[in-house]
């Protein structure tokens, strides 16, 4: 086996102890390792020059989201171990870490290819430059930032006008992201195997502006009908970019997919996770 990556969230001090135990476990099996840190100002990704067999990601869903934007373009599969709160995207918890990793080493898993988004900001200058590409596993969000005024936006799909919004923002979500911010804003839960992109307005002024789903072969363009100082573009809720006057945002499905290692068994099933994490399997108490 080639080198295995161990990526961990440095904001949780207990993760470092887990990393050291995991490295000792893998080294005992003759497997070399590479460490990567998230939640740190140091950019370890610049020093990843060798191919990895896969990467073990220690943290919550946020750690896995951030890692996906780095590893998906490299085609490296990720195996998430939940040391955070919800753990919707990851497998198990660190308490049975070695047992879980042993299953992966024995190839007792399948790989889910999760769709990602690719975004560009088309600048308003005379040269019509592009900023991007930017990638997201959950969603790309247009937000009003710290300003209180609503945003006036126009949505085009494949250069055809679809809707005008007066809203606090707009969520462009993958099926994976449908259980995150999009769900909180009134969107639908989407099976991750569906090839679609969900568009969800945030607090739209017009009640007929409803969430809708388009084929992921479409190209989505967002323009702004009024001055929109302070408007932000957010990637998975982690990276922020400012939108300037006259800019446009173009979003499509990324050519890269996030390769997620899933163990064999019901606990890795999407609907099992939905029932457990969202309590869909519980009757309302009288």
pTM above 0.75, yes or no: yes
Please give the average per-residue pLDDT across 232-239, as a whole number: 95
Query: Is residue 219 included in any domain, yes or no?
Result: yes
Query: Is residue 153 included in any domain, yes or no?
Result: yes
Distance, in Å, from the CA atom of 172 to the CA atom of 178, rounded to the nearest integer, reads: 9
- Asked if 171 and 146 sit in the same domain, the reply is yes
CB count in 10 Å sphere of residue 23: 16
pLDDT at residue 18 greater than cutoff 60 = yes
Those residues whose C-beta lies under 8 Å from the C-beta of residue 279, and which sit 6 or more positions away, are none
- Asked if 122 and 215 sit in the same domain, the reply is yes
pLDDT tens, 153-165?
999 999 999 999 9
Q: Which residue has the higher pLDDT, 7 or 283?
A: 7
pLDDT confidence of residue 94: 65
* CA 189 from centroid of its chain's CA atoms: 15
Residue 256's pLDDT band (cuts 50, 70, 90): very high
pLDDT confidence of residue 128: 66
Q: Which of 44, 61, 164, 191 is catalytic?
A: 61
- Asked if 251 and 216 sit in the same domain, the reply is yes
pLDDT confidence of residue 285: 58
pLDDT confidence of residue 155: 96
Distance, in Å, from the CA atom of 109 to the CA atom of 92, rounded to the nearest integer, reads: 14
Q: What is the residue whose two structure tokens read 């969230």? A: 9
pLDDT at residue 132 greater than cutoff 60 = yes
pLDDT at residue 43 greater than cutoff 70 = no
pLDDT tens, 72-129?
999 999 999 988 666 788 877 666 889 999 999 999 999 999 999 999 999 876 556 8
Q: What is the residue whose two structure tokens read 């220690």? A: 58
Distance, in Å, from the CA atom of 167 to the CA atom of 176, rounded to the nearest integer, reads: 24
- Asked if 120 and 249 sit in the same domain, the reply is yes
Query: Is residue 222 included in any domain, yes or no?
Result: yes
CA distances from 250 to 132, 163, 253 (A): 10, 15, 11
How many structural domains is the chain composed of?
A: 2
**Average per-residue pLDDT in the chain?**
90
Query: Is residue 125 included in any domain, yes or no?
Result: yes
Contact 132, 120 (CB under 8 A): yes
Q: What percent of the chain has pLDDT over 70?
A: 93
pLDDT at residue 286 greater than cutoff 60 = no
- Asked if 189 and 80 sit in the same domain, the reply is no
pLDDT confidence of residue 42: 64
Among 84-93, 185-194, 272-281, the range with the most confident prediction by mean pLDDT is: 185-194
44 among known catalytic residues: no
pLDDT confidence of residue 229: 83
Distance, in Å, from the CA atom of 56 to the CA atom of 91, rounded to the nearest integer, reads: 11
- Asked if 125 and 101 sit in the same domain, the reply is no
Domain that holds residue 210: 116-255
pLDDT confidence of residue 167: 95
């Amino acid at each position: 086996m080639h080198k295995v990556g161990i990526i961990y969230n440095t904001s949780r001090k207990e993760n470092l102890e887990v990393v050291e135990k995991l490295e000792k476990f893998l080294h005992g099996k003759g497997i070399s390792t590479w460490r990567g840190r998230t939640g740190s100002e140091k950019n370890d990704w610049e020093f990843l020059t060798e191919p990895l067999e896969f990467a073990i990601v220690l943290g919550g869903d946020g750690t896995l989201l951030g890692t996906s934007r780095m590893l998906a373009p490299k085609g490296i599969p990720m195996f998430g171990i939940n040391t955070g709160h919800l753990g919707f995207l990851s497998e198990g918890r660190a308490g049975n870490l070695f047992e879980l990793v042993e299953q992966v080493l024995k190839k007792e898993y399948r790989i889910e290819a999760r769709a990602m988004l690719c975004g560009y900001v088309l600048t308003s200058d005379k040269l019509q430059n592009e900023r991007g590409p930017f990638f997201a596993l959950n969603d790309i969000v247009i937000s009003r930032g710290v300003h209180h005024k609503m945003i006036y936006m126009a949505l085009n799909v494949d250069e055809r006008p679809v809707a005008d919004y007066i809203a606090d923002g707009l969520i462009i979500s993958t099926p994976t992201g449908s259980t995150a911010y999009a769900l909180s804003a009134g969107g639908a839960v989407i099976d991750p195997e569906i090839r679609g992109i969900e568009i969800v307005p945030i607090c739209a002024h017009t009640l007929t502006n409803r969430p809708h789903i388009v084929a992921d072969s479409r190209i989505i363009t967002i323009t702004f009908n009024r001055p929109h100082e302070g408007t932000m573009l957010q990637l998975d809720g982690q990276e922020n970019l400012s939108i300037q006057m006259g800019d446009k945002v173009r979003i499509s499905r990324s050519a890269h997919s996030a390769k997620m290692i899933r163990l064999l068994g019901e606990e890795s099933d999407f609907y099992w996770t939905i029932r457990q994490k969202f309590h869909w399997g519980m009757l309302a108490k009288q």
